[in-house]
Amino acid sequence: MAAKEELYAKVTPRRQRQSRPSTIKHGSTLDVLLSMGFPKTRALKALVSTGGKNVQAACDWLFSHVDDPFLDDPLPREYVLYLRPSGPLLQQLSHFWQQSRLSCGKNKAHNIFPHITLCQFFMCADGKVEALTDALQTTVAKWKGRIPMPLPLELYTSSTFIGLFVEEQMAEVLKSFASDFATEATAKADVHVEPHKKQLHVTLAYHFQASHLPILEKLAKTVDVSSGCDWLAVLFSRDIRFANHETLQVMYPYVPQNDDELELVPGDFIFMSSVEQSSASEGWLYGTSLGSGLSGLLPENYVNRADESDTWVVHGSLLIVCTSSFVFFFALWINDVVFKVQVPTSQSSLSKMRLFVCRHGERMDVVFGKHWITQCFDSKGRYIRSNLNMPSSLPARIGGHRDYDKDCPITVFGSTQARLVGEALLESHTTIDFVYCSPSLRCIQTAQHILQGLQQEGKTKIRVEPGLFEWTKWVAGTCLPVWIPPTELAAANLSVDTTYRPHIPISKLAVSETYDTYISRSFQVTREILSESKGLGNTVLIVAHASSLEACTRQIQGLSPQNSKDFVQVVRKIPYLGFCACEEMGETGVWQLVDPPILPLTHGPNHSFNWREMLIQD
């Protein structure tokens, strides 16, 4: 403990010092960063700080932290191993979280998602993190099939605490698992891990007002602890400099007016120390940016309170307790790499329904700008491409080529991206039974090329569903796009089902609809699509917009919609061909996000899309 306290003492925020330097499987990723000229200490820090995702994420981190005064300090991060619930129990816990927050405000339990603590926080040097994740992998492999299921939980309440406690005999089993991890971590990564010695439990509420106890207790009793639940051993890390700070999220951009002020970027997080507040005037705060590592003053009304765990980094998430009857894979996920080992299951698991939601491919107007139409169409409306990344031909439109202004096609690279996804689905032995698509041409073309890659072109028809169009508030002008009718799309050799009758026709779409209307529309059409497909096929693919990955999956999991600001932050991070997957949990009608059967696709400056980080939010 003394060594830890010394480290905390070293990391008091430094205002004056400013240096301006010109997976986890690190392996080749680290080598690439070193070949680019980054010092090893910085490259390792970038990989660890981004969860070892990929070279692009590490480079982005390094460039944004170029002025971080701690960039070259050899400070280790703190790590912790949690057991996290998923499935129906997680849905109920998330509902409890939301209702308790609405009824009684935020309490200390809200700072961290639902979990069972398996060990105390411990430190690990950046160069040892790969060995640490290997220790977790080894431990989980050793314990596969040895943990009884389900995990029995019992509600406990007191005047200051509410939680679900693990039955004692089962708790001892989990403690043995944690002890084995500690032994492996010491041997492989040379770290000291202290397994959790207190009673194992899921905290529901603590540090709440006494008057709130009856309400919280009543809400807690609605949580069905017998609900199906798969448990994942998840390794997290946090920056030790900010372990005792309050976490804030930036809501609005701010450009500094003075040298001692901090630039604010929406979506970034700010760490605020009570010690530093003595120098801040009324209406201003002093904090440090997660995105840049820089510190300074910032206007208080530009930030909101956030949860401590919002800034934590995931280094490995491994399924160790499978209670759902339909689970037929032992899944290991570390640093965007999925390993699956088949285990025995009932025949019914093979017929579970799956929903894939995919964003369209690279669009012409984003790559070439709004003036691409002027460049490519002559006075007679004839199309001539001016760049190899432009398609060689385009479908004719009854309204003329100006209709492409609001309904652009995808690029050649966009077609290639889509075909790669289809080929990956084919390699994973995935068959798509139904394809539903936004009426936007870019989405229909993307679906067509996915089917080409799957070798299902012509066999599976695309059902054009206007209800899958994006939030109409984002459409410029006072009218919606003029989309190409299905009959004309079919005439242009696109595999469109001309007999399909949409659940939400174009006439029902309104210009500048509210956020609530868009979310309700997306939820409604997704439910009707799944209901329509049930019993006729197991796998449904929706090809639509970046917003669809969130809007079409969140509420079918039993979760409430996010507020519009958080929703926009999620959507901004979803790249072309961002892809997520949901599975129905038996016959319950409840769905959960799962690992897609394909790897993520990164192209150019696009960030790698990870559905876990983007769409799972407690």
Q: Which of 201, 354, 503, 545 is catalytic?
A: 545
Q: What are the two backbone dihedrals, phi and then psi, of residue 566, each rounded to the nearest 5 degrees?
A: -65, -35
Instruction: Compute CA distances 97 → 85, 166, 367, 419, 494, whole Å.
Output: 14, 19, 42, 41, 46
Q: Which one from 359, 363, 521, 554 is the annotated catalytic residue? A: 359
Residue 52 falls in which region: left (phi positive, over 0), alpha (psi -120 to 50) or beta? left
| Whole-angstrom distance, CA of residue 436 vs CA of residue 417 | 19
Residue 17 annotated as binding?
no
> What is the rounded distance in angstroms from the CA atom of residue 486 to the CA atom of residue 500?
9
Closest listed residue to residue 193, CA positions, set 132, 102, 270: 132
- Length of the chain, please? 618
Catalytic residue status for 545: yes
Tokens, residue 587? 């016959």
When computed from its CA atoms, the radius of gyration of the chain, rounded to whole angstroms, is: 26
Residue 37's contacts (CB-CB under 8 Å, 6 or more residues apart) are none
The closest alpha carbon to 299, from 251, 344, 337, belongs to: 251
- Is 15 a known active-site residue? no
Tokens of 260: 């001692």
State the residue for tokens 């290639």: 416
Contact (CB, 8 A) for 328 and 345: yes
Active site residue 521: no
d(CA 559, CA 20): 45
Q: Burial-class residue 603 by CB neighbours within 10 Å (0-12, 13-18, 19+).
A: middle
Could you say which DSSP state residue 254 is in?
B
Which residue, 552, 516, 123, is CA-closest to 356?
552
Question: For residue 564, what are the contacts with CB-CB under 8 A and spacing of at least 6?
Answer: 515
Per the residue annotation, which of 26, 315, 360, 363 is the catalytic one? 360
Binding site feature residues for substrate = 442
- Residues involved in catalysis: 359-360, 545
